[in-house]
Amino acid sequence: MVKLLILGTGNMANSHATAFKAVPGVTLVAAVEIDPARRAAFGKEHGIANLFGSLEEAIAWGQFDAAANVTPDAVHYDTTMKLLAAGKHVFCEKPLATDYAHAIEMAEAAEAKGVINMVNLTYRNSPALQKARELVAAGKIGKIRHVEASYLQSWLVGKQWGDWRTESRWLWRLSEEHGSKGVLGDVGVHIVDFASFGADSDISTVESRLKTFHKAEGDQIGEYKLDANDSVIMMAEFANGALGTITATRFATGHANDLTLLLFGTEGALEVKTDGKASSLRICTGADIDTQTWKPVECPPVVTTYERFAKAVQTGVNGDPSFRRAAEIQRILDLCFDQDVARGKKIG
């Protein structure tokens, strides 16, 4: 039996709690939240009796095996390092840390402790992505030469998730002073993982451009300075020799939350699509190459990241995506941020 603590009780914490409660062999034994009202409400909703106002209190209590870290991005490092020091297994929300230096330190600390360490890159739960990687690894499309990946959202031009101009839960994502690293820091981690996992190859290096668009008078709404990046374009070189483009934006009108991956090989091509709920896979190979005919590929259900973490704790064999994998993704994001700083940031 895996005795799990939920650290933080925001929106994603409800997703974690619901998902883990459905996994056989996992019991939610405790939760940590600094706000008393939210702490009580979360405990009542999910049937958690042991509630703490601080991580230190929970660690002193100690009657848990593992923790799901669902705190804000900026405190992932501090809270995770405390859990690792206490010898606890950790399932951390993405991104693992806000920079590579902290991320790799976390990975090395987890490995030194010999504890299970995984990051919740939720789009790994896409059956189409998992099947695409399997086909690539089996050589079904030959050697990959070109990759195109995109993560398209449109909440800066639509109101499918509310009005960003009046809601703090969206405004903070547009303000560096409020801890945001823009679309690159928010969903860039997903699309970089999506592209490189599907291609079955790490990314060696990138050349990138970030753009922050003018969105309000004085580029500010209330206390929120609107200076975080809204769109990113990367030209990536993969370890397998392929070249590719990776893009992410919040201005993709007509797309609520769409990820697409195209893998072009010497003997065929694959197209992966998902919105985080449903996914699809198509292939063009063999005689179909000459007629540009794409055919659907059946994709069986896959084990979720939550289930893989539970199994890893139960077996003692670390799962993927690991902290080290998340640190490698952060290295790529840091390259993009560094290039943006060197170029000179401006809003246009």
Domain ranges of the chain: 2-122, 127-301
Q: What is the pLDDT of residue 257?
A: 97
If we measure between CA atoms, which residue out of 91, 15, 4 comes closest to residue 48? 4
CATH of domain 127-301: 3.30.360.10
| pLDDT tens digit sequence for 95-121 | 999 999 999 999 999 999 999 999 999
pLDDT of 10:
86
Kindly report the pTM of this predicted structure.
Answer: 0.94
Confidence (pLDDT) at 347 = 81
Structure confidence at residue 32 (pLDDT): 98
Residue 209 corresponds to which tokens in the numbers above? Answer: 């451009």
Where the chain has pLDDT below 50, the residues are none
* SS3 of residue 256 by DSSP: coil
Angle between helices 189-198 and 323-343 (to 10 degrees): 120
- Write out pLDDT tens, residues 14-71: 999 999 999 999 999 999 999 999 999 999 999 999 999 999 999 999 999 999 999 9
pLDDT at residue 57, rounded to an integer: 98
Decide if domain 2-122 falls under CATH 3.40.250.10. no
Same fold, 2-122 and 127-301: no
What is residue 345's predicted lDDT score, i.e. its pLDDT?
Answer: 73
